[in-house]
Amino acid sequence: MLVAQLAPPVILRSGLIDAKSLEARQAQAQGEWVADRMILLDNQIYQGQVGFQVLMPLRLMGSNRHVLVNRGWIRGTGDRHQQPHVITAGGVQTISGLIQQRTPRVGSVGKDARDGIIWSEVTPEGFSAWSGLRLQPLVLYQTSSAQDGLVRDWPHPGSGADRNRGYAIQWFAFAMMAVIFWGYYFVRGQIRQGIEND
């Protein structure tokens, strides 16, 4: 993960990239928002408040290819029929972010886990089929700042599954050490007892 963080950012253009091999890498894209294709990722909690993550395609400069950007978190209105107002800048934008293959799945809502523009999971393939847009095969989690009121407080790469694997290895090592020490002292005690009995 450290290598991915230190590597120069991937520049997203019209040519397709391999998102799997570039997972968690920094990337940069330049283009214009396609605001009428916005969707909201459902059931997103931030600091105890219920809201959504805002996903919107960015049309890449000089291309008819797009990249789907997770722009950040916004608080819900309390009424699923009243969508939150998302501020979207016009003109060419330069967006930096982290490459992910998709969004995590949350509790299903409605048919096919979708209720209008409120979705419970987003894949580039599913979004492309719905929107009719040609996409890079990834979701770019925006890290660059913008005057849009959205919260971009993403988990650090390596803070999820990698960290859990690290804990598992650590506890396994502790267990093995305990077994070795127990075996050593057990055998030592048996030898000592045998000497005393003689």
C-alpha 57/C-alpha 128 separation (Å) is: 10
Q: Work out whether strand 93-100 and strand 65-75 pair parallel, antiparallel, or are unpaired.
A: unpaired
Phi, psi (deg, nearest 5) at residue 154: -80, 150
Radius of gyration, alpha carbons of the chain: 24
pLDDT, one tens digit per residue, over 3-35 is 556 789 999 999 999 999 999 999 999 999 999
- Alpha helix positions (H), the chain: 2-6, 124-131, 161-197
Question: What one-character DSSP code corresponds to residue 173?
Answer: H
Please give the structure tokens belonging to residue 145. Answer: 């700042």
pTM of the model: 0.75
pLDDT at 190 over 90: no
Summary count for the chain: helices (H), strands (E): 3, 9
C-alpha 73/C-alpha 193 separation (Å) is: 67
The predicted-structure confidence for 75-128, as pLDDT tens digits, reads as follows: 999 888 899 999 999 999 999 999 999 998 765 544 457 888 999 999 999 999
What is the pLDDT, as a whole number, of residue 162?
A: 46
Q: pLDDT (tens digit, 9 = 90+) per residue, 139-160? A: 999 999 999 999 999 987 554 4
